[in-house]
Amino acid sequence: MSFFAQLRRQKLLSATLLLFTLSIGILIGTLVTTAVRAEKAQGGAPDATPLVIPNPVQISTAFTALAKQLEPSVVNITSTFGPRPSQQARTRRRQGQPDQDDDDQGGSDLFRRFFGQDPFGGDQGLAPYHREGTGSGVVVDRNGYILTNLHVVDGASRIQVKFTGDPTEYAAKLIGSDPETDVAVIKIEDGKKLVPAKIGNSDGVQVGDWAVAIGSPFGFEATVTAGIISAKGRDIGGGEHQLQKFIQTDAAINPGNSGGPLLDIQGQVIGINTAIATENGGYQGIGFALPINLAVNVYNQIVKTGRVSRGSIGVGFNGNEKPETFKVYGASHGVFVTQVTPGGPGDKAGIKVEDVIVAFNGQPVKDGDDLVSRVSATPVGSGAAVTVLRGGKRMDLKLTVGERSEVWADAPQFRRFRHQEEGREETSTEVKFGLNVRNLTEGLRDRLGFDQKGGVLIAGVVDGSFAEDIGVAPRDILMAINKQPVNSVDDLQRIQAKLKPGDAVAFRVMRSGLDTEGGHIQWRPAFPAGTLPANP
């Protein structure tokens, strides 16, 4: 091969090698560029270090231990109000009303219980006769006894209890209650092994102490919140709750916490959560718990005798008398009498309006709360000495202490409580038109706010019945049929027996609603009517 041929061959090989090298470089560059573009398209961060989750570590605090300690002792309570609906006659909810009400039923008061007092539930008497609601409670005895609020179970036809982590619903019965402190004792008897909470001493509680609330707000079981004791001795209830001087706390409590425990940092029960201060029905930083010392006193009386007994001398007073009043009547302290119950212990002893009570059993009386506390703790039937100032003269009067619920029998809390059993025992009767009706007892009229004479309560309406078709609703009060007065279930049955298919039937009922100005319950007439079918 000639020199020139070899040279041409070397140049060809060099060019081929160069072309191959360039091709490899272009290919690698294309791949790198594509990868970079793909990485950018995926939002990657090549300079970031991946995070690593460490092994779980138990961080123990006093609140953690407290929650674990109390969890088995705090229960969720579901109360059913009104008769259980049957297949033949189910109580229908009104249009737009919920099936279930959790605790606070609204109202215009700033201070609200967590659970409505209306015996039929709902907002100012407009909700259905049958309803359910939830609250809380705390186990205080391994034999099944549970402390809660009366307003959680008051008037309930069925009470059921659930424990955290246990899906079983345990039937409970009401052992006893006290309307003045809003305390109730219920019991389950299913043999479940119970863990009672440890009772503390609310007298030792100080403002600024830690406080923990456990309960079922809005039905969420075993909810734990913490705060401090904001104040003691709060009076929020007015005349009906004269004996209640609450512990105030900022631990978050909401509808459903009612009846649950307020605890100190040691896990001891120092109160029973009872009320909230709110403008919208929810937590706004202020809650109130009944001191456990008062609740225990009530509990012990209930489990011992089945009822709570307190002394009274039958006098009324204003809690905010000005110093000038006492000065005019010759006193520097005491209780200025504004009311004397006719026939009560004070009346019999000679106490009169405008007297100033300055001493009870020889000990000076500071104010009305002091007098009520000491008299209510005095055994009923025992003798007592009351010192009064009348016209500047000091007088010592002797009296016999009476039973508070009897002396003040007409007070709202006692009147409602007195008719409670009467209302429970009155059962409904199914009648021809597809109605379940009840006679209106005095207690039922009082709770409904219905002061007219006559009528029967419509407790339920059968689906698809004549009554439903013409627009009769649960909680209407039936006053007349075809202009014939209905004063009892017997009257209704007598009138319907004379009617036959094809007859025109006109009801006159009274129906509750709110007035447009004051927000009070008003009863207005309605006249549902129709032609009686073959099968009404």
What's 394-447 look like in SS3?
EEEEEEECEEHHHHCCCCHHHHHHHCHHHHHHCCCEEECCCEEEEECCHHHHHH
Cα(387)–Cα(401) distance, integer angstroms: 15
Among residues 312, 324, 322, 323, the alpha carbon closest in space to that of 351 is found at 312
Cα(243)–Cα(239) distance, integer angstroms: 9
- Please name the residue that has the structure tokens 């200025």: 336
Pairing of strands 170-178, 521-526: unpaired
List 79, 136, 216, 258, catalytic entry: 258
The two structure tokens encoding residue 358: 């300055």
CB atoms within 10 A of CB 196: 17
Cα(145)–Cα(189) distance, integer angstroms: 9
List 182, 355, 476, 491, catalytic entry: 182
**Which spans in 42-129 are helix H?**
62-70
List 130, 151, 241, 419, catalytic entry: 151
The two structure tokens encoding residue 38: 């793909």
**Active-site residue, 151 included:** yes
Helix (H) or strand (E) holding 512, with range, is strand 504-514
Cα(204)–Cα(227) distance, integer angstroms: 17
Torsion region of 499: left, alpha or beta (phi above 0 gives left; psi -120 to 50 gives alpha): beta
Cα(104)–Cα(94) distance, integer angstroms: 19
Q: Which residues of 482-508 are buried (b: 16+ CB within 10 A; e: fewer)?
A: eeeebeebebbeebbeebeeeeebebb
Cα(484)–Cα(507) distance, integer angstroms: 9
CB atoms within 10 A of CB 187: 18
Catalytic residues: 151, 182, 258
